[in-house]
Amino acid sequence: MTFSSSFSKAQRKETYRRLARVVRGSESEPLLSFNELRVRLHLFQQSYAGLRTIEVAKIVGTVDRSDDFDRNFLPRTPQTRERWERLEQAFPTLGFPPISVYQVKNVFFVIDGNHRVALAKQKGAEFIDAEVTQIDTDIDIDIDENFDFEQIFYLEQARLFMQQSGLARSRPMARIDFTRPHGFVELLDVVKAHGYDLMVERGAVLEPDEVAADWYDRVYLPTVESIRWERLPEFKAGSTEGDFFLWVVQRRREHDPQQGLQSLEDAARQAAREQERRIGVRARRALGRN
């Protein structure tokens, strides 16, 4: 029987997908790198989980072959052909020796066996045997085939904010979101400034946990309530309450000090009134053009 390689079909599929992304103006889809994930999320603790049968669909990345395959384990270079075809001839029924993987949460990254995974995915295999090493992390992440490193960076910034501000210990259930990772950096400065004012007010040095709790209870939550009450989210769809909080903080900083100290609640109210006026002006202009 003549051997028929599936490599050319897989490479054509990768080429067509890459051209389609160019036409759509989409970003490239490289295979996720475990080493970058490890650095971003500070993944160090690991334990051997043994030989298991895992789902091929949940293998989303690699330790060191991210240049050879795309996000779907399709070959990106012709250099992978020889290894691909040797495996395909040696294991026509895909009865490969076990691969080696790291498991992070619900997904897997290949340590050894990238070509075997690529073949398994190309031929529609549902399961593959693997030696699994479990990577432990306390970060709440949900990784799937659409996961990207921008999301990783966002999660890392969120983790750093919770730890460095003290909220992770004093208010561990607090959830603050932004549309951009740098929001956490700005928010940390706000908490630190609150801590300075609080220590001056009390005449004592306070632990970060105590500062964070006071800021969250007496500053953040009341301001968010005012943001909701003033219906600010209606003026800018897609923004988070964290975004609006920083916006209100900035509005208060721009407040004329000669008019007296402005509370964050008043700043939220003033921001809402200004947005209403802007919308009214734009509506009148639009009507005037008709």
pLDDT at 273: 73
> Mean pLDDT over residues 232-247, rounded?
81
Verdict on whether the full-model pTM lies above 0.95: no
The residue that leads in pLDDT, 33 or 267, is: 33
Taking only Cα atoms into account, the Rg of the chain, rounded to an integer number of angstroms, comes to: 26
The pLDDT confidence band at residue 67, using thresholds 50, 70 and 90, is confident
| Statement: residue 255 has pLDDT above 80 | no
Name the residue among 108, 78, 72 with its Cα closest to residue 8: 78
Secondary element (H or E) of residue 130: strand 127-135
Distance, CA of 37 to chain centre: 11
- Could you give phi then psi for residue 76, rounded to 5 degrees? -100, -20
Domain edges within the chain: 7-135, 149-289
The residue that leads in pLDDT, 168 or 282, is: 168
| Contact yes or no for 174/138 (Cβ under 8 A) | no
> Mean pLDDT over residues 233-241, rounded?
77
